Structure 1
Amino acid sequence: MKRQVILDTETTGLEASQGHRIIEVGCIELVNRRYTSNNFWRYINPEREIDRGAIEVHGITNEFLADKPKFFELAKELWDYLEGAELIIHNAAFDVGFLNAEFGRLGFTRRIEDVCEVTDTVAMARKMHPGQRVSLDALCKRYEVDNSGRDLHGALLDARLLADVYLSMTGGQNRLMLDSEEGGGASRSRFVELLGASAAPLPVLAPDAAEQEAHLAKLKKLADKGKCLWAGELPAA
């Protein structure tokens, strides 16, 4: 069983080394590339002021967070949730740096990268699309993931968008685009979600006789034009 957690955070500012804190954690779980319902989402009281520039990005205020739990109250639950998973993070150094700073304040001696494999989708995207923009919004546009509701950043929302993008980036032709009944034709990648949250292996459906015959007929047409890479599948004349 392969367990992956798509993770995003929102913070009081840009630098954990300057004492900035996490104010929101959003995690989406995939098991064998399928969505599960075992997600993790918390707002956190940072016990310090949020930079004005950060509020303009995510819209989260100190007033909103006043009654939310402090990090030490959920640290063990979050650590246990993350431990052993592959973490899929957009610009991983930022989020991992903040997580390590938070856990380090509480005396945790291990770091996130000691207990989790960390995959950075920024690095993946730069390798796959050299010279192109690799922001989450740019990747949503490239992979036709609907991000029309993303007026402000949000940890759970961004994690969900990144999950769709990641599955599209790594899935080849396994994206199925569906029209939204409410969205006037807007679409987003939902192939894995359609298969359900089961951890069972993905089904492999063999073609029936009619489908196999149609497939061979198509290959023959391509072969007659000299453009068939799978001519070896054709029966001998």
Structure 2
Amino acid sequence: MNRHSQAAVMFLLGAALLHAGSTGLYLRYVKAGLQPLLLASGAVLSVGALATVWYERRRHRTRQQTHEGHVHEGHAHESDAHEGVAGEGDAHGGHAHPEPRVSWLLLLPLLALILVAPPALGSYSALRSGTALQKPYGLGPLPGSSGPAQLSVVDYASRAAYGNGRSLGGRTVRVTGFLALDGSGQPYLVRMALNCCAADAQPVKIGLTGQLPPVLRPDAWLEVTGTYASRLERDPVNGGPIPYLRVGSVRPVPVPHDPYDETWNN
């Protein structure tokens, strides 16, 4: 891989990062807050690749000018000049050590980023990982003053598990997540929470009870409207708390633009 090939790979990688960062594709890999850093990285790689091409072209022109200068120095030392130029060419070209072929492996993550968009983690991962719910520092007032309060899975689970539902004030809530069914058929509303990227995603689970649909399909995204249920159980994986929500109504919804929940216990 010569310098021009390196620049091409670096430019393609930078362009792929810019594409992922300017669309929703990056949300499959990292949380939304990292978008500026992703765009900055793509810009730096692209500019670095263009600078490498410019530097190589400039160096090539300098070599040509130096060669022409040696040729026109004088016919008396023409043979010596040719030998010096040849020796210089050998030093720069013939005896140069090429970059190792293993550097072409840099194309693999590039192809993976361009060709493969991994699906968001679902019920299979959620049921094999313990809940990531932790005690919050504080619980503020519910959003809005009337009607169902729109809460994230993490927000409702925190209020129900650690506040005994007091901060919910008897309000009806609306929570969106995907469905997971354990071995006994118990349904859970789940959202995978991110700390940094999809590699460290962990589930936060809410048990569902009450008026449930007769047919439940794992990984289906649902908007659940209901009220606080005092039932609380322990996750069999890590012993973490899993609060419950008494279901009043359920509505299927499409997969959200950002399938992960970044609302860690604030």
TM tier, shorter chain? under 0.3
TM-score of the superposed pair, with normalisation by structure 2: 0.20
TM-score of the superposed pair, with normalisation by structure 1: 0.22
* Structure label with greater radius of gyration: 2
